[in-house]
């Protein structure tokens, strides 16, 4: 047990220390550096248009992963770590990153200890679980955050329409959203206003919001505002039509969710019932499960079974995940 648990513990500690030092150094210097980058890019951004002759507008917004990772330094180049850091930014838990890193360390050690009988496979399983659990958690937070944002988004657009009709500029309308609406929509528009105060253009600040949320409705909103600023037109009429479209899309999403509820339940059952049965048998009759844990053929069968369960869950999830 010590031969495997000790390397696992040392590896986890080293990973946590490296992540802590890297993000701590970035946090201590990233604020001023990031602000200087923004100010230094003002003139260049003011010369560049939101549009590109060789690119689609929505793709410009949705391909800004690097934009989200500017404040994490060299860690953004690591393939697995960058994915976790990007999800931290998108899910709004960037301030809790050290807690998440500590959870990953504890999870790695505990899973390695629990699966010690599997030998070297325990380290592989522990690494996968340590990576997948926070990813799953943050993806869930992102989905909830997006859903709440989209539920409030039509009301925010209506507030902009009423403000513009009253003669207020767009910045004042967004400030009203920050002062009168709930999170996460007020948090996103507050960040937009902060970036504008640094010197970014309204269009560029909204593009960054669209990149953080990565939602089609928000992309529509940004493209509409960018088009209106480029070509002019009746902003209130355009936003009214967009608000109606977003409301109809929200109704369609709710209808699809109701129709696919049975499929989601099937996926949960396929995923958790075998794991529950395995745990119950292991607790009540450990000798009965010994051939699976103590023999090479049993270990191979366990890996195959786990792969089939994961494949079934993924297939069901793809079937019920209907994008509109």
Residue boundaries of the structural domains of the chain: 146-251, 260-324
Coil, strand or helix at 143 = helix
Q: What is the mean pLDDT of residues 239-249?
A: 87
Please say if the pLDDT value at position 114 is more than 60.
Answer: yes
The b/e string for 55-66 (b: 16+ C-beta within 10 A; e otherwise) is eebeebbbebee
Q: Regarding the domain with residue range 146-251, which homologous superfamily does it belong to in the CATH classification?
A: Type II secretion system (T2SS), domain F (1.20.81.30)
Share of the chain above pLDDT 70, in %: 74
Look up tokens 């786990």; give the residue: 306
pLDDT tens per residue, range 166-225:
888 888 888 999 988 888 888 889 888 988 888 888 888 888 888 888 888 888 888 888
What is the C-alpha to C-alpha distance for residues 48 and 57, in angstroms, rounded to an integer?
Answer: 14
pLDDT at 209: 86
What is the C-alpha to C-alpha distance for residues 279 and 49, in angstroms, rounded to an integer?
Answer: 58
What stretches of 260-285 show up as alpha helix (H) in DSSP? 261-284
């Amino acid at each position: 047990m010590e031969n495997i648990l000790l390397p696992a513990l040392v590896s986890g500690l080293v990973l946590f220390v490296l992540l802590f030092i890297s993000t701590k150094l970035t946090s201590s210097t990233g604020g001023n550096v990031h602000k200087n980058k923004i100010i230094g890019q003002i003139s260049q951004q003011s010369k560049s248009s939101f549009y590109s002759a060789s690119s689609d507008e929505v793709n410009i917004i949705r391909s800004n992963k690097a934009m989200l990772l500017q404040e994490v330094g060299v860690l953004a180049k690591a393939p697995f770590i960058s994915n976790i850091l990007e999800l931290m930014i998108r899910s709004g838990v960037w301030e809790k990153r050290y807690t998440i890193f500590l959870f990953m360390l504890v999870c790695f050690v505990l899973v390695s200890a629990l699966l010690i009988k599997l030998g070297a496979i325990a380290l592989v399983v522990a690494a996968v679980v340590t990576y997948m659990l926070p990813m799953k958690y943050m993806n869930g937070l992102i989905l909830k955050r997006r859903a709440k944002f989209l539920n409030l988004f039509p009301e925010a657009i209506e507030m902009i329409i009423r403000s513009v009709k009253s003669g207020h500029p767009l910045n004042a309308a967004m400030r009203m959203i920050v002062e009168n609406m709930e999170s996460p929509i007020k948090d996103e528009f507050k960040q937009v206003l902060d970036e504008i105060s640094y010197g970014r253009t309204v269009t560029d600040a909204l593009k960054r919001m669209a990149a953080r949320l990565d939602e089609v409705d928000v992309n529509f909103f940004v493209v509409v505002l960018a088009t209106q600023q480029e070509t002019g037109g009746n902003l209130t009429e355009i936003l009214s039509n967009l608000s109606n479209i977003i409301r109809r899309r929200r109704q369609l999403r709710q209808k699809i969710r109701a129709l696919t509820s049975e499929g989601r339940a099937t996926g949960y059952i396929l995923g958790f019932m075998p794991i529950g049965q395995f745990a119950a048998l292991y607790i009540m009759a450990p000798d009965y499960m010994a051939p699976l844990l103590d023999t090479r053929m049993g270990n191979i069968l366990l890996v195959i079974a786990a792969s089939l369960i994961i494949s079934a869950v993924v297939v069901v999830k793809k079937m019920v995940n209907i994008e509109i």
